[in-house]
Amino acid sequence: MRWLWMMGMLVMTLPTLVVFDASKPNKKLRWFQTNDDVMGGISSSTMKVNEAGVAEFSGRVSTENNGGFAMTRLPVSINFDQPYSKIVLQVQGDGKPYQFRLKASKRQRFWYVQKFTTSGEIEKIELPLKDFYPSWRGYRLNSGNFDATQLTELALLIGNKKNESFTLLVHKITLE
């Protein structure tokens, strides 16, 4: 717990939980690629730590053969022992829209999704957990938004229905 002095009052805040930090290598955390080639497409992507010590999600999205997306995903095992309210991404993008995705269970077939657009600058993007909506294969499900107390997988996806190259630099991902 942290305590902050705000507007003449002592306020307790939750500690930040670091989910991923590219500057602190962790051999237990391994990103996996899932591109549209699983259904015949030809998009490609990689997620690697570059020379500057930043995770780089990059590649080329192609709409050929009914394709059109590239995704990198990270299995995690996080049980919230505190009521976190948001995911915070410290990223530098290319001005393109992306999706951040969550799974609350290993058996879960769908993702909880929230879209964000990068500015081209290094920035912190805050994504409220309550705004992640359930989606399966691009279709919004008629079910409640994210309200779980655990995470088993997270992912970054680009799928803007056009042919494009992309680069998203990921410095850190936290729960706050």
In a domain, 156, yes or no: yes
What is this structure's pTM? 0.91
Domain-embedded: residue 10: no
Is position 6 within any domain? no
pLDDT attached to residue 25: 83
Structurally, the chain folds into a number of domains equal to 1
Q: How confident is the model at residue 80 (pLDDT cuts 50, 70, 90)?
A: confident
Is 60 exceeded by the pLDDT of residue 11?
no
Would you place residue 81 in the very low, low, confident or very high pLDDT band (cuts 50, 70, 90)? confident
Query: What mean pLDDT do residues 1-17 have?
Result: 65
d(CA 110, CA 103): 7
CATH of the domain at 164: 2.60.120.430
What was the pLDDT predicted at 3?
55
DSSP letters for 88-134: EEEEE--S-EEEEEEES-TT--SEEEEEEE--SSEEEEEEEGGG-EE
Least confident span in 25-29, 39-43, 127-131, 144-148: 25-29
pLDDT at 2 over 60: no
